[in-house]
Structure 1
Amino acid sequence: MKAAQDHQNSYVDKRPRPIDFNIGNNVMVKVSPWKRIIRFRKRGKLSPRYIGPFIIEARVREVTYKLDLPKELEGIHSTFHVSHLRKCLADDASHVPLMDIEVDERLNYIEQPDEIVDRKEKQICHKVIPFVKVIWKHRKRSDTTWEVKEEMRRFYPELFV
C-alpha cells in the first residue's frame, strides 16, 4: 500500500500548482461534482464545467474560501476548497448585462453596430466592392468585422449620416 501511495505522490510532486486567492478576486466554481444533483442551465454534453464569476468574501482556512453566491444558488454551501475554484480571467468590461441584450420573437440575438472605424475597397475581377470595418455593441473592441458598405447602409442608415 505504501509503494502505491508513493507512486501516486510522485505524479503530484512533479506538477505542484500553488493556488492562492485574495479577498475580492473573481473566481469560477467547478460544477462537475453536482452534475447529477443540480443542473446549471444546460443538460448533457453542453452543461458548463464552471459557473461564475463569484467574488471571494473571506478566507476560511488555508485552502478554503467563502464566496458571495447569488440567491439562485442559496441551496449550495458557500465555502469551497481551492481545487473547485479557478481564477476568472475575464475583465469587467467584457461583462454584458442581461437587460441590454435584445432578442426578437424567434429568440434570435439582435446585434447592433456601434460605429464604423475604417473603410477599404476590394477589387474582384472588374468590380470594386467597398467595405467598412464595424465595431458592434456588446462585443469586445477587438471583435470588429469587415462588412459590405451597401448592406450596412441599407440596414443601418444612421451610421452614414
Structure 2
Amino acid sequence: MGKVAYELGLPPTLAGMHNVFHVSMLRKYIPDPSHDLNYELLKIKDNLTYEEVPIQILDHKDQVLRTNTISLVKVLWKNHTVEEASWEREDEMKSNYPELFFNEDMYNFEDEIFLRGEGCNTP
C-alpha cells in the first residue's frame, strides 16, 4: 500500500478482517513448516448454517440426578478441536449416529490382549 502500510493476504477464515496493517504492527516472518494450514471448505447452506457431523466418541460418563442416571458421551465434532468437544446424551447419539458405536460395542479386553501380542503363541 505504501511505505508504512502493508496489505496482507489473509486466509479465508479471516476474510471479514481488515487486511491493511501499519508497519509498527508487523514482525518479520520466519518460515516454519508447521505453520502450513490444511483446511476444508465448509458446505454452507442458503440460510448460512452448516451441518455438524460427529467424528469420534472421546469419553463416557454417567450423570447422576436425584432419581435417575443419564449416560453421556463426549463427542468430537468435525471442524472443531478436542477442547470444543461436547457432552451429549448417549441414547440420542446412538439413535442418530449408530456408526460411532459399532467399533466400541465390538471391543473387549480379550481383543486388546490379542492385539498387543500377549495372547499369541507365535515365535
| TM-score, L = length of structure 2 | 0.53
> Which of 111, 114, 117 is the equivalent residue of 2:55?
114
Q: 1:69 to 1:117 in 2, by over 3 A?
A: closer
Deviations 1:125-155 (A, max 9, x none): 2211000001111112211110000111111
Q: Once the 2 structures are TM-superposed, how far is the Cα of residue 97 of structure 1 from its aligned partner? A: 2.9
* 1:1-161 superposed matches below 5 A: 65=6, 67-68=8-9, 81-83=22-24, 96-98=39-41, 101-104=42-45, 106-161=47-102
Q: 1:83 to 1:97 in 2, by over 3 A?
A: farther
Q: For 1:155, give the aligned amino acid.
A: N
Name the SS of the counterpart of 2:72 in structure 1. Answer: strand
Q: Once the 2 structures are TM-superposed, how far is the Cα of residue 105 of structure 1 from its aligned partner? A: 5.7
Name the SS of the counterpart of 2:83 in structure 1. Answer: coil
Distance 1:112 1:123 in 2: 27
Deviations 1:101-130 (A, max 9, x none): 234464421010110010000111221100
Deviations 1:56-78 (A, max 9, x none): xxxx96x55574579xxxxxxx9
Q: Matched residues, percent identical?
A: 40
Q: 1:114 to 1:69 in 2, by over 3 A?
A: closer
Q: 1:80 to 1:120 in 2, by over 3 A?
A: closer
| TM-score, L = length of structure 1 | 0.42
Distance 1:158 1:106 in 2: 28
Q: 1:141 to 1:105 in 2, by over 3 A?
A: same
Q: For 1:115, give the aligned amino acid.
A: Q
